[in-house]
Structure 1
């Protein structure tokens, strides 16, 4: 049975009017011989068009530049052929898109086909999400409901001299606004008050054709009322690159995804499934690696791939950082060796103009680690893949220059108490280079198909991160794809400990699972039992578990956390921060400079403090997720044990909701601001308290009690523990300082607002809310009202009494009294 693939129509394209859309399946495409029999007399004379000062380039399509026009010769043989169209930015204004759009950013990628319609050539957008067998009855329905849209259309101008190709004017594809390939989305159009595309200042800059791809660069200029950056011309100009690459007719064998092992995927829907629905499944995105010597590979020898993965360094990369970038790329060879390949990934310096005048970072044939000179503090690892099979065709790793600053600051904050080399704004090259190396390795991991595995960091025992032997061998986490950048658990007395993340056992496992060549399997279905067996072999070992950290309540899948005991890890982290804060003035001082660096590092230290607190409070009402299939025993979802939740609230009362004199260091504050310290602490504490009293969290706790009874940490227990901690001065008859008064007012306001919001939702939806959250909050306020009324005069401090009376008034207002 031959399989056919269909597209979901994209809403922003023109509706296709030709009902005779040719669909393709697994059988070899048949060329239309009638094309070559078309009489040239039906079109213009080729030599009347292609004449004079013509710049031509032969390749996949022969291109002709004449004055301000661009023509393609589209071979008959490549009509109805799958081509990948990749749109990228080459040059752009400063701070365009807020700094996260840069030279090399991908605008779009889509599969297209040239289609002849009478005397026209249409460029159709093809998708491969829906599929059906061409001989099945449902084929017609899938075809009718997945009509291919037309991206661009042009009249055929002529037939080339040897009657093998149509000559088509494609100028307007690159000089008009075609939404699917331009870099001005509607949100930026509104933000920059873009009025129109100025065609007089928009043009095709270059056209190059290669055997497998065509590369076009075109400049687009927009009139804008509020352009980004320091633009004074009232315009936005961008140079774009459009790559049209021939997809392989010999398709890579796809591999079925399994959510127990993390991979970027492509969604598919099979309408010929025997199930009582369309059979949806996913394919993983990966490079095609095939061993040169399959027999040696079968014997367990390490074998080089037929075509290795090659990355080029951007020529703009500073020379001193290049060795670290190369190391970061080639670090993955250790993981590929686990999959049976040697020298699977290679890093190279980009060729000079003399060595290869055709080399371009925008050419989709080349994967490049780009060094971007912007103030953005980030790095990314996107890739381009064949939607038919998941084969990754190309990727560009992007390093933003100021990301160095992020790691310098984090290293000082999280390792300054332990390492003398971290106590400076000039981090030693070897150490900042090691951090850069691991960032590049992380981004290459994305480009290989691996998503974040935020759960990995919870696998190692917390105290093992204080061991030199353990950390030097296994790193900080089983996966470099986690966010666990610096070892904040290690203490000043711990010698020889590793402080920077590195590749771990999960990375080797996942690469083996996704890239190992299985010669005995002739289809993706044949592979599945083998892949399942590899997963089951590691089942129950937390080092090999996957958790994305997105959309789940699992506290183990938390970014920047370390170790299996969040309370202990955060206590270690806070102990280090308390040693760092008194030294920040000295460590950040630069002769002749102001205190901007101090202010920046101090601000980021506050964020990290907040992160340590978040790692703990996420355990309250948390639910562990262990991904399993039906043939595996045990639950997928389990509530966090009672003692861990209760211990988390005790930690919060001790470390989050107290007076942070250590954080409010006078030597720092007097140098960076004239006020704002109280408000800063209030903001940090309010965020923590608001998250702790989140409705979804409380609902999970209520469900836990209904399932597990006395073994559950109940909402009432949590509220009692929280109240006695936050209002400890009330129960002890003590004076309340300004910071605690702020916190206690926030507690009352959050409870009040929660009731008001839920009541408003009830009225808006005209329904009865059955959640226990409203009565719980009401009961909490009533309890506080009783306690405050009976205890408010146990202190002689006038300001404290005023505060207690104010809280009573706030509670009365909440009840409408």
Structure 2
């Protein structure tokens, strides 16, 4: 029917001509000839013929490609500003599309993959397809038909020269913008132009310059107004195979990226979610030859020839490390590396036909891997990894800070190549793992006892994490003397989990004839390892933000005990902070390196180790659970551990006087100010809000005795006022916490302030931001800077932000649900009165500044209580 309708359309467009008329008009110029006659045309032939003419690209689109599924993606070849998008980036996942024809118009449609029907439900497939109609993204007039009527000619320039978000330079990870910034690009068609076209057997590439005006703001203040920016973009349109790879049904208990479908049963019309795992097609065509050791066609990673020479070896090793895991499956040399070929005119690193590892000369401190996936089956078609020059700076700084106390060889600004090289190898391997279909296993190292991370025999066998897909780079738990004893400071090339995940994802199950028949074997492989936490997948998503073992973090989670690991880590920070000048003074004449280290220690490293412990308070361990798995779906952190964590948090804040190092402050190019004062001013109120908000949920989920909001507040009160109630002179840090606690209790108690208006109360329904909140967000910046830079902005003091943004920034809910929020006003009120009694006694026992402070606090409390 499709062929008949196409013929009818062509006849309608160009008329049915009789034999006699054909002889009479044999010299008439056709529309096809008129379109290109006497005009300079550049042509390229492949899966279709491309004609570049007058700054436009015309498709000679074969009619046999109508309704064929394709992927349309983009990569950045060059940029006028690397802060917007960097060379080599693939900003967004490719867009699945197809072309249809109706009358004299070609339509570009987005692919909507239908839900999967079961074998007994084939009759409803047509109904499903009708409910998954691909939306029209663009339309094009057919301007001619080729002389043999095999292809339709239309101007396709609008596919590539447009401001469509899905194929622009500004993906969710573009540039170096932070959560404080908002960036708005406005497409400028008049300043954009087509550059080049190339057609290949199964794909085409179109190169163009896309221009924008960029307006940016920071904390609500405009920093750029319509700054001109231009990017050379390469758009690729690739034809998906007619025969899809047999999918593998994924399992949420293992870290595999996947596409979501719904399986529909013909028996009861029920539906269930099913996910197809993303993986390369490495299934052997000849199973018998495979059993005899015949290798499959390898995945080739082409390595950018602009990489610094010192990097190349380690980048290659980061790819080839995965061959060890594939060998257990029976695939020999499944991954190979080759340099960008210089003598192959068909090679183009921006053509998705090639899987590449690209070097990006940018101070951006990230690496990232992207894959092009057939959305129908999960087959990975190609991939790219981008490594930025800034990664080396980050690794050098992190190595100095995190393991400088134990590893003497990194106590320099010029860390030896073999040490930095191993870190580059690990970063590469982590990104390559993502291009193989594995997802990040955040918190994998929480399976290891902290003391084992200081064991030479354990770390030699297992490294410092069960998975290279973890976020851990260095052994920041190791102490001075541990390296000399043989303790390893970096991950193994691959961890035990990585071997397990590759086996699960790629081992052929030849006895199965369908994805469903594979499931029992796949589940057994998981069941065989489910008892061992070293093989546990710890997923980070919106449902696991309360899990101390899997929350998103900058430095990675080392060890099963957040408290013990943080003690070791902060002890190391103090050691490095106190000795860095003597280590690098002669190498760092302008103090640039030490200034960077100083900032990182005070504003990043300390905070994140400290926050690792904070997540214990109100924490809920969560697991993906199937029937028979030997653990509960969730479990609240024990009362004892929450109490110990609170004590640690308060003690570590009180002990931050080491950060006010006069000698270091005098030598830094940046003035630190009173660091301890700032730490307490920002983080102590954070503890209070975190504890009250998080414990509210955890005590509801405990189903038994657990740490409560009332106990938490009483414990904070007892710690802060302990020395004063004992008649001792409080420390400077204690006095500051006493003031902050008093203000918190007044603000959150059911009393009225001096203006006669109600205070915020414990059940306030909305939250607005203060200067201290913005200071707190600074600490979250390194962890969360990868979120879409388009959607985050703060406007003015006390401005409200979206609830989702606030949760991501601090872990605290922006709004309290008045229907479910527990009322602890009585506790707040009781502690206010108790504070007043303590102060009434203490004000006569203290002298000088302490007495004056207590008199002021007593006055505030008295006025607040009288206003009730």
What interval of TM-score do these two structures reach, taking the shorter chain for normalisation? 0.7 to 0.9
Asked whether the 8 Å contact 2:187–2:213 carries over to 1, the reply is yes
Residue 499 of structure 2 corresponds to residue 526 of structure 1: no
Name the counterpart of 1:122: 107
Residue 738 of structure 2 corresponds to residue 747 of structure 1: no
Name the counterpart of 2:827: 776
Q: Residue 83 of structure 1 is aligned with which of 70, 84, 88?
A: 70
TM-score by length of 2: 0.83
- 1:13-92 equivalences under 5 Å are 32=3, 35=6, 38-39=10-11, 41-42=14-15, 44-52=30-38, 53-92=40-79
- 1:756-771 equivalences under 5 Å are 756=760, 758-761=762-765, 771=822
Q: Residue 614 of structure 2 is aligned with which of 617, 621, 631?
A: 617
Report the CA distance shift for 1:633/1:338 in structure 2 as closer, same or farther (over 3 A): same
- 1:120-519 equivalences under 5 Å are 120-128=105-113, 130-131=115-116, 142-183=128-169, 197-199=188-190, 201-223=191-213, 234-272=227-265, 274=267, 277-291=270-284, 293-295=286-288, 297-298=290-291, 304-305=295-296, 307-352=297-342, 355-494=343-482, 495-502=485-492, 503-519=494-510
Asked whether the 8 Å contact 1:678–1:739 carries over to 2, the reply is no
Q: Distance in 1 between matches of 2:315 and 2:345?
A: 24
Q: Distance in 1 between matches of 2:588 and 2:198?
A: 52
Kindly tell me the number of residue pairs found equivalent between the two proteins.
Answer: 775
Q: Distance in 1 between matches of 2:186 and 2:56?
A: 25
Name the counterpart of 1:804: 854
Asked whether the 8 Å contact 1:31–1:77 carries over to 2, the reply is no
Report the CA distance shift for 1:704/1:778 in structure 2 as closer, same or farther (over 3 A): farther
Asked whether the 8 Å contact 2:215–2:223 carries over to 1, the reply is no
Q: Secondary structure at the match of 1:172?
A: helix
Residue 595 of structure 2 corresponds to residue 599 of structure 1: yes
CA RMSD of aligned residues (A): 3.2
Asked whether the 8 Å contact 1:292–1:303 carries over to 2, the reply is no
Q: Distance in 1 between matches of 2:450 and 2:217?
A: 50
- In the TM superposition, residue 210 of structure 1 has moved relative to its aligned partner by 0.3
Q: Distance in 2 between matches of 1:766 and 1:80?
A: 49
Report the CA distance shift for 1:735/1:129 in structure 2 as closer, same or farther (over 3 A): farther
Asked whether the 8 Å contact 1:698–1:773 carries over to 2, the reply is no
4+ aligned runs moved over 6 Å, structure 1: 133-137, 185-190, 225-233, 762-766
Report the CA distance shift for 1:754/1:144 in structure 2 as closer, same or farther (over 3 A): farther
Q: Distance in 2 between matches of 1:806 and 1:302?
A: 82
- Larger RCO: 1 or 2 (CA < 8 Å, sep 6+): 2
Structure 2 runs not aligned, ≥5 long: 16-28, 750-759, 768-814
Report the CA distance shift for 1:179/1:461 in structure 2 as closer, same or farther (over 3 A): closer
Asked whether the 8 Å contact 2:258–2:277 carries over to 1, the reply is yes
- In the TM superposition, residue 198 of structure 1 has moved relative to its aligned partner by 4.2
Q: Distance in 2 between matches of 1:581 and 1:454?
A: 28
- 1:558-573 equivalences under 5 Å are 558=551, 559=553, 560-573=556-569
Q: Secondary structure at the match of 1:727?
A: helix
Residue 98 of structure 2 corresponds to residue 109 of structure 1: no
Q: Secondary structure at the match of 1:243?
A: strand
Residue 546 of structure 2 corresponds to residue 579 of structure 1: no
- Kindly provide the CA deviation profile for residues 766-801 of structure 1, in whole angstroms up to 9, marking residues without a partner as x: 9666514443333333333332333333333x2112
- In the TM superposition, residue 589 of structure 1 has moved relative to its aligned partner by 3.0
- In the TM superposition, residue 402 of structure 1 has moved relative to its aligned partner by 1.0
Q: Secondary structure at the match of 1:627?
A: coil
More off after superposition, 144-153 vs 340-349: 144-153
- Kindly provide the CA deviation profile for residues 708-732 of structure 1, in whole angstroms up to 9, marking residues without a partner as x: 22xx334343333322223333133
Q: Distance in 1 between matches of 2:688 and 2:609?
A: 14
Asked whether the 8 Å contact 2:563–2:645 carries over to 1, the reply is yes
Name the counterpart of 2:709: 715
Structure 1 runs not aligned, ≥5 long: 1-29
Q: Distance in 2 between matches of 1:774 and 1:511?
A: 53
More off after superposition, 102-111 vs 407-416: 102-111
Residue 534 of structure 2 corresponds to residue 543 of structure 1: yes
Asked whether the 8 Å contact 1:397–1:444 carries over to 2, the reply is yes
